[in-house]
């Protein structure tokens, strides 16, 4: 059976509806919270040799009930409107869950970033910005990097926005530190994942020191999650990226390999396939690559005690149920990987105040707030006698619904 992509937005809304039912929300309110406020689809002509390619770009704004919309821009050949809607919606629940004053949005361009030159990439992001400048802005909608984009892309976006609207560095987050970015933002998502992993172990009375971790993905999130897990005393015993994976039961020295371009460049006697890392026996499994990697085909082979979701939607709905039935605790993406948007919030506030924090303050603030979000989700799970994913959605949906009604939207 092939996985149909069209279900991503419906899957998120299913969780919203379940939370709404538990909270006793009226059906109209649930419908409002399940709809996107605005969807913009644009065409992006790109000069290729002596001809032109026409790419499709998106910006979906899901909710502004709790503040300006916030969300990344993804460059990937499979990006479509349903994908972007689902991710925009997840941002609404993520920002509400960690209690930062943002709503949710997401952007994307359907293009394979590995086939683009740097000049083509710059041209695409500038055209995307020009086409959408009327719906962007530091008090309207603030983009950030995502799959296929990075700090350099955000610098181009900011530069284009400045040409059109004047100096407003808070119009985008995830910028280079030299161009109004925040020290600590780049590592924030991975750091948050590691802090949540440690909090999960403590909550379940397992020693953090020496706990074993397997991580799928060695991009920005997986890399920093691995590094911080090691700093906290955990043992990273398996890692994988697109080139394959490595295993060392004694623990991989993350500091030593942190800057490699790919895990193919790491010498190892014990190499495995990219997906095999998911089936390693360990305390904590962190899927930090693509979505839907834990599914019906491999869910029964998962041997971790805890799954901490570093990627967005890495677990299919049916696999999620199966993991719970197998007594595996799943810490949901909207909690586990929310360190990135927390970091973006810190960058945004610093830009608005035109004042920068030292990295120690950034890390300290991030750790405290991630810990608080974790405690809140656990308390909600206990209160409603439910799993962590359902609890996260109950907490987030309740906050957005309250903001919605207090604004007089109902």
Active-site residue identified among 15, 70, 94, 106? 106
Q: Which residue has the tokens 């600590």?
A: 184
Contact predicate 308/284, CB 8 Å: yes
Q: Nearest 5 degrees, angle CA 38-CA 42-CA 44? A: 155
If one counts every other C-beta atom within 10 angstroms of the C-beta of residue 401, the result is 24
Contact predicate 81/41, CB 8 Å: yes
Contact predicate 192/364, CB 8 Å: no
DSSP 3: P
- Collect all residues with Cβ–Cβ distance below 8 Å to 153 and sequence separation of at least 6: 73, 121, 122, 125, 145
Contact predicate 258/242, CB 8 Å: no
Cα separation, 203 vs 111, whole angstroms: 42
3-class SS at 150? coil
Cα separation, 410 vs 400, whole angstroms: 12
- Phi, psi dihedrals of residue 157, rounded to the nearest 5°: -60, -45
- Collect all residues with Cβ–Cβ distance below 8 Å to 49 and sequence separation of at least 6: none
Q: Which residue has the tokens 């991630």?
A: 370
DSSP one-letter string for 291-331: SS-BSTTTGGG--EEEEE--SSS-B-HHHHHHHHHTT-EEE
DSSP one-letter string for 155-170: HHHHHHHHHHH---GG
User: Does the active-site annotation cover 106?
Assistant: yes
What distance lies between CA 353 and its chain's CA centroid? Answer: 26
Q: Which residue has the tokens 């809140």?
A: 376
Cα separation, 202 vs 379, whole angstroms: 15
Q: How many residues does the chain have?
A: 410
Contact predicate 197/308, CB 8 Å: yes
Cα separation, 245 vs 264, whole angstroms: 8
3-class SS at 246? strand
Catalytic residue ranges: 106
């Amino acid at each position: 059976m092939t996985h149909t992509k069209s279900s991503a937005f419906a899957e998120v809304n299913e969780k919203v509806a379940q939370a709404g039912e538990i909270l006793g929300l009226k059906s109209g309110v649930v419908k409002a919270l399940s709809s996107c406020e605005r969807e913009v689809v644009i065409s992006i002509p790109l000069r290729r040799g002596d001809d032109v390619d026409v790419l499709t770009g998106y910006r979906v704004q899901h909710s502004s009930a709790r503040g300006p919309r916030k969300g990344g821009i993804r460059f990937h050949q499979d990006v479509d409107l349903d994908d972007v809607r689902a991710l925009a919606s997840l941002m609404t629940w993520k920002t509400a869950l960690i209690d930062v004053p943002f709503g949710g949005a997401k952007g994307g361009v359907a293009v394979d970033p590995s086939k683009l030159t740097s000049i083509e990439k710059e041209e695409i992001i500038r055209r995307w910005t020009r086409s959408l400048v009327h719906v962007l802005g530091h008090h309207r909608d603030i983009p950030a990097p995502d799959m296929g984009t990075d700090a350099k892309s955000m610098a181009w976006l900011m530069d284009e926005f400045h040409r059109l609207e004047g100096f407003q560095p808070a119009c985008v987050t995830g910028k280079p530190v030299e161009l109004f970015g925040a020290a600590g933002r780049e590592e924030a998502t991975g750091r948050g994942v590691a802090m949540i992993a440690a909090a999960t172990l403590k909550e379940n009375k397992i020693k953090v020191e020496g706990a074993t971790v397997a991580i799928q993905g060695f991009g920005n999130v997986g890399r920093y999650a691995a590094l911080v897990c090691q700093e906290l005393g955990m043992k990273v015993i398996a890692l994988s990226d697109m080139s394959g994976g490595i295993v060392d039961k004694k623990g991989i020295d993350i500091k030593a390999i942190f800057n490699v371009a790919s895990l193919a460049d790491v010498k190892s006697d014990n190499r495995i396939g990219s997906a095999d890392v998911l089936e390693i026996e360990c305390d904590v499994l962190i899927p930090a690559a693509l979505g839907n990697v834990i599914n019906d085909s491999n869910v029964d082979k998962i041997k971790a005690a805890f799954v901490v979701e570093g990627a967005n939607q890495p677990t299919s709905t049916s696999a999620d149920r199966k993991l719970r039935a197998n007594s595996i605790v799943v810490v949901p993406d909207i909690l586990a990987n929310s360190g990135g948007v927390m970091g973006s919030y810190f960058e945004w506030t610093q830009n608005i105040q035109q004042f920068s924090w030292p990295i120690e303050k950034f890390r300290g603030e991030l750790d405290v707030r991630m810990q608080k979000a974790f405690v809140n989700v656990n308390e909600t799970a206990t209160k409603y006698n439910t799993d962590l994913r359902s609890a996260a959605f109950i907490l987030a949906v309740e906050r957005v619904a309250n903001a919605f009604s207090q604004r007089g939207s109902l």
